[in-house]
């Protein structure tokens, strides 16, 4: 049986570096990041607690920020 904890730890450590959201080259919401991980690894291969433990051990921090979306309507001229 695979030790997914160690595989995921190594994968995140190799491919992602903790940084502030405004400096990141690639920005994921929590849902998008989890979806990406679970497309890379089997669903439910680790618990939420274990994933949180991995991210904290790699010095990832939680950031909450809002993204303002602007909608533009075409004029009917």
**Predicted local confidence at residue 77, as pLDDT:** 66
Length of the chain: 77
Question: Of the given ranges (9-13, 47-51, 68-72), which has the lowest mean pLDDT?
Answer: 68-72
Q: Is 61 in contact with 18 (CB distance < 8 Å)? A: yes
**Predicted local confidence at residue 48, as pLDDT:** 82
Residue 25 carries which DSSP code? S
**Predicted local confidence at residue 65, as pLDDT:** 65
List, for residues 30-47, the tens digit of each pLDDT value: 778 878 888 888 878 888
Q: Distance (Å, rounded) from C-alpha 55 to C-alpha 18? A: 9
Q: Distance (Å, rounded) from C-alpha 64 to C-alpha 2? A: 33
pLDDT band at 1 (very low <50, low <70, confident <90, very high): very low
């Amino acid at each position: 049986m695979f030790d997914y904890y160690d595989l995921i730890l190594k994968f995140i450590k190799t491919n992602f570096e903790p940084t502030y959201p405004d400096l990141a080259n690639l920005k994921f919401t929590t849902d998008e990041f989890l979806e990406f991980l679970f497309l890379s690894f089997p669903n439910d291969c680790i618990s939420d607690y274990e994933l949180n433990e991995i991210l904290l051990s790699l010095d990832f921090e939680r950031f909450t920020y809002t993204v303002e979306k602007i909608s533009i309507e075409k004029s009917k001229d």
